[in-house]
Amino acid sequence: MPCGSASPSSFPEMYLAWTADVQQIDDATYRGTGPDGDEFVIRPSLNREFGVADFDVEADGTVERSRSRLFDVGDTACELVHLATRWEGIDDESWERHKRGTDADLERMKRLVESESSN
């Protein structure tokens, strides 16, 4: 599959807006640290065969659910569909900032995957 890695260990390279470091705790759990030192727990649900890359990110008692589907398009391309739900308690300004950061991170991830695929 040309769609790249979905492991949380690769998040610091892909998602600079919110992830500075990720350490694996066990088979199902990762501890992440943000650029400002905030900590969070990442619980992935991955199925490479079906292109499922879902993540629950827990911080400060709230859970952000990120759902992505990766579809092969031929031998050298893929299509990504990403859904995120607005979590309880986030204000409009913070949500807009989060969406802009996510858009920038997904664009960065696209460039990384395209670069890896061309090598």
Domain definitions of the chain by residue range? 8-118
What is the Cα–Cα distance from 109 to 14, expressed in whole angstroms?
5
By CB atoms closer than 10 A (0-12, 13-18, 19+), residue 118 is exposed
Coil vs helix vs strand at 19: coil
Q: Which CATH number fits domain 8-118: 3.30.530.20, 3.30.70.270, 3.30.390.30, 3.30.500.10?
A: 3.30.530.20
Coil vs helix vs strand at 64: strand
Give pLDDT tens digits along the chain (119 positions).
345 556 888 888 878 878 999 999 998 999 999 999 999 999 999 888 888 889 999 998 888 888 888 888 887 777 888 888 888 888 999 999 988 988 888 888 778 777 766 66
CA 47 centroid distance within chain = 14
